[in-house]
Amino acid sequence: MNQANRPKRWQLDLFVLLMTILMVLEMQTHLSSSWETVVEVAWCALALIGMGLWVYVNWAALQHEEQRWRRRRRTSDQPDLTASRTIPLTPIQRRILNVTQAHSHTEETE
């Protein structure tokens, strides 16, 4: 697969590691309560801005990955008509299947 179409997750991992290091350093410093509040608010804002920037930079790759996932899911959701059930239906499942099939047949005749 083309690497250009994949999001660079290592950048996000590195960002989270750096933010964790900053939080540990902030806990080690002895700041007044007002400065501690300012630093924590700035840390939260930096975390949100950093992750938002990462999504903005990798948006095309994320979209491509989403489309690929949907295509793969769509092809796997199509039932294989040659395969038989290995687990029998419960009575409730059988009843729902019969009602659904009867309802779809009445819609086709209308």
Which residue, 3, 46, 4, is CA-closest to 22?
Answer: 46
Q: How many C-beta neighbours within 10 Å does residue 51 have?
A: 14
The tokens for 20 are: 């964790």
Within a domain: residue 43? Answer: yes
Within a domain: residue 38? Answer: yes
Phi and psi, residue 8, nearest 5°: -90, 85
Split at pLDDT 50, 70, 90, the class of 102 is confident
Q: Dump pLDDT digits (tens) for 5-52.
A: 777 888 888 998 998 998 898 888 888 888 888 988 999 999 999 889
Within a domain: residue 66? Answer: yes
Within a domain: residue 18? Answer: yes
> Where in the sequence is the domain holding 42, given as residue range(s)?
3-81
Q: What would the mean pLDDT of 74-86 be, rounded to a whole number?
A: 62
Within a domain: residue 14? Answer: yes
Within a domain: residue 65? Answer: yes
Residue 4, pLDDT > 60, answer no
Within a domain: residue 102? Answer: no
Q: How many domains does the chain have?
A: 1
